[in-house]
Amino acid sequence: MAGQRSNHEKVRYRFQKVFAGIQDGISLVVKTKRQEPVRFFMRQDSVSGSCGLMCVGMALIALGVLKASAFESAPRRRHGTAFALWSLLSDSFFSGIDVSDLHARLIQLDVPVTFTCRTGEPASIGKFAVDSLSRGELTILAYENERNHFKHYVLGTGVAGVTENRKSTVDSLLVIDSGGDEPILTAYNGVMHISQCHTLAKQKKKLNSRWLYETAGYASAEKVFLIGAIRCRLC
């Protein structure tokens, strides 16, 4: 019948899934329980090692358990969640912090958020990240550059991939990098591409451990591998 699609015709398209509260536009905002959407992007300065702290702050703001204004003035606070977070992580502002230590400190916070950590084999971390982000859960990702062993945290906000004949395959992680510019008209400012795709229908498929990380601040993609991930889930 004219106009009808053949059963044998392949349907193929790209898709994106991002954290449900994010609203992209001229500025990056998130819809929480507050009346108006709030900006939650936090910029890391060029001389600090505060990327982990920035990612935690953005995640807690997006989840609605921390005010953006309170986080911005955290060093001057004397009570509340921002004060508690700064007290736990201020010593890492310049030196940075490893994933296990960051997780150990985060679980001390009195917030309605469960922090689940995954370290160890890069492929296992990658699967954990893909699974968590595919479910719409914010996930803090730590990676190491293969060339110079530079380590950095980014906030995972979603996944992208291909759907073909009803089978969806994730091939990219969408992230917010506090070292870059605030995303405009999109929910991310960095993308991690994996060389071996992950089919959502086959959760046991092993992921390649190497990722290509692209951001606007770099002339070419970095070859990186994941060294840790912390999923942030509202209780």
> DSSP readout, 129-166?
HHHHHHTT--EEEEEEETTT--EEEEEEEEEEEEEETT
Assign a CATH topology to domain 14-234.
Cathepsin B; Chain A (3.90.70)
Residues in CB range of 165: below 8 A, 6 or more apart: 10, 11, 12
| pLDDT 10s digits, 137-186 | 999 999 999 888 999 999 999 999 999 888 889 999 999 999 999 998 99
Q: What is the pTM of this model?
A: 0.89
The rounded distance, in Å, linking the Cα atoms of 55 and 138 is 10
Which residue in 129, 66, 122, 56 sits closest to 88, CA to CA?
56
| pLDDT 10s digits, 191-220 | 999 865 554 444 444 455 789 999 977 777
| pLDDT 10s digits, 92-136 | 999 999 999 999 999 999 999 999 999 999 999 999 999 999 999
Which residue in 207, 154, 141, 164 sits closest to 15, CA to CA?
164
Mean pLDDT of 82-96: 95
